[in-house]
Every structure is written in C-alpha cells, then in structure tokens.
Amino acid sequence: MIKTAEFVTPNHPDKICDRIADAIYDAYRSSDPASRSAIEVMGGHGLIVVNGEVTSTTEVNVEHVVKNIVGENYKVVVNLTRQSPEISRGVDGGGAGDQGIMKGYATGTTESMMPREYELARMLAMKIYEVYPYDGKTQVTLDGEKVIAVVASFQNAPHDDLLAFVRKYITADTYHINPAGDWHQGGFDADTGLSGRKIIIDNYGPQIPVGGGSFSGKDYTKVDRSGAYMARKIACDYVRKGAHEVFVSLAYAIGVAEPVMAVALVDGKEETITSYDLTPGGIHTTLGLEKIKYADTAAWGHFGRKFPWD
C-alpha cells in the first residue's frame, strides 16, 4: 500500500499562528488556571490578527506575547471577548464546550506508536530544521516499507547541500529538493497563516481519520482538543496491552459531560470503552492537563512526543 505524509516546521506561517494562539492561552493560564479560551490567529505580511473568546480573571498583554514570537515589526490587532453566556451555562456544570467527534490512533509498528510515513516526514523536518531553522516542508511516500519519494523544500537551504543532508537520513528512489527552485522569502513574508489549518499534521497524517476539530488556542473544556488527547491515550493503552492497531472514536454533545459515543476498533474488533472517565473534568485530571505548557504542543505535532496522552 502506498502512503504519503507531510510535515512543516515551526516557522511555517500556519504553525506560527498555532504557536501564538497557544502562547496566549498559556499566558492567561499562568495566573488563572481556570481560564477558558477559543483563540484564532491569522497572520502575514506585517499583520497579526487575534480574534476569539477568553474568559479569565487575569489580564494579558496579548500584543507583547505575539511580538515575543514574531518580533516587533508587526501590527497586532486584538479582538478578544468573553465566552458566550449560553455556552458558559453548559460548561459551568462540567459539560463539554461543544459537540464534536474526536479520533485517536496507535499502532504497534513503530516505537512512537505513530504511522511510519508520518514519523519519517517529522523526523526529516526536525533534522533539517536543526541546520536551517526557517520555513520548510517535508513529504515522504512509502510503498510498503520502501521509501519511493521524498520532498524537502526549505527556506535558505541551497539545493545541493539540502539534497546531501536528506540523503544522510532517508534512502529513496526519488528526491524532490526545493522543486520550485531555491528560495529565501518565507514565513509571514511569503504567505499568510491561520491557526488550526494543519490538523492532519497535528494528528496522524492523511491515512488516519480525524474528527476535524483544531487544537491550538483552546482550553480543556473544548473536547476538540482534550477529547482527542484522551482518545490517543486510550489507543496507546490498548497497544501497550498487545494490540497491533487501534482506532478510537469519541463524540460529545455541548453541555453534556459524558460522551454520546466511546468505542475502540481494536485489530478490527469494535469494543465499547467503559473503563475511563471521559468527562472533560475527568480528562483534565487523568492527563494532568494543568501541568501542560500548550505552546510546546503547537510545533512538531501533538502525538508521538511523550506527552501524558502518549
């Protein structure tokens, strides 16, 4: 079976936006751990827009947080309001902050329990980024266990040097290195970015289903995030007990604490999940989310990195 996965660096425009969203949320949480947030960020070409909802007892200099990441030469527009009182009514009693479907996955074929094509694309992006810490992308295509194609496109990385570097880490039939030519204008100077746009990279790559909800900028009551983390933990627990491949599905209704669906497909056999506290509060406690610095999750993917849900 032919499979392909891609990855982007922390200085890709979309990932910069994810990092900003989570850094803002972390700033609120540092003084008020109960802060609720749903922060969206758009940036590019000298402008950063921060929009969304934050309910907190503390104040944060959002512009300062943004400029710590992108530098001083940006206009920052901040438009944050409090959470809708109707949504608060459902969440205050411990209910989920929205409806939605969350997916979790784990495989016994790799040490990280992540798909191999995903891990190769991530590994390569991380290795290149150590030498060229700029905007960049990788892509790896497998035919079974064989790597048949590698794509690496990195800002400020000369073709020949980049090709030699990639060959050190992956042997492939075909290499596409800076396929549109060497390039020096990247990041927000070249493209706009948007938080929550790289959900496939944030999850498991395109071969594994995802629920569709983004992660960054959201507090734990947003089960798009916390539910997906818990689904990953459950899948990993099954693999550690001997399963080969596990798909977990959770679904929630806004204002309702318990999921309306909680099933695991374990090596092709469906099981109902009953032995976990799957309420938002229960997930928060089980995973120790109060200890997580969310900005650390916003680069290099949310899974397979030894977080508590892995």
Q: Look up the CATH number of the domain holding residue 20.
A: 3.30.300.10
Pairing of strands 47-55, 75-81: parallel
Report how many domains make up the chain: 2
173 occurs within a structural domain:
yes
Query: Which residue range is the domain that position 46 belongs to?
Result: 15-91
Residue 79 burial (CB < 10 Å; 0-12/13-18/19+)?
exposed
User: Edge-to-edge strand order for the sheet containing 100-107?
Assistant: 100-107, 245-252, 261-266, 269-272
Which of 135, 164, 185 is the last residue in one of the domains? Answer: 185
DSSP state of 14: H
For the chain, how many residues are written?
310
pLDDT band for 93, please (50, 70, 90 cuts).
Answer: confident
264 occurs within a structural domain:
no
Q: What is the pLDDT of residue 90?
A: 78
Q: Which residue has the tokens 């506290």?
A: 277
Query: In terms of domains, do 133 and 80 share one?
Result: no
Kindly state the average pLDDT of the residues 59-75. 97
* Range list of H helices, 154-222: 159-169, 199-202
In the predicted model, is pLDDT for residue 30 greater than 90? yes
Q: How far apart are CA 309 and CA 288, in angstroms?
A: 9
* Number of Cβ atoms within 10 Å of the Cβ of 118: 28
In the predicted model, is pLDDT for residue 22 greater than 90? yes
107 occurs within a structural domain:
no
pLDDT band for 88, please (50, 70, 90 cuts).
Answer: confident
210 occurs within a structural domain:
no
Query: In terms of domains, do 126 and 87 share one?
Result: no
47 occurs within a structural domain:
yes
Helices 13-31 and 62-70: crossing angle in degrees, nearest 10, is: 140
For the stretch 109-166, pLDDT in tens is: 999 999 999 999 999 999 999 999 999 999 999 999 999 999 999 999 999 999 999 9
In the predicted model, is pLDDT for residue 87 greater than 90? no
Query: In terms of domains, do 84 and 145 share one?
Result: no
Kindly state the average pLDDT of the residues 66-92. 91
Q: How far apart are CA 110 and CA 55, in angstroms?
A: 40
Q: What is the pLDDT of residue 218?
A: 97
pLDDT band for 230, please (50, 70, 90 cuts).
Answer: very high
Query: In terms of domains, do 122 and 154 share one?
Result: yes
Q: Which of 34-38, 86-90, 91-95, 115-119 has the lowest mean pLDDT?
A: 86-90
In the predicted model, is pLDDT for residue 86 greater than 90? no
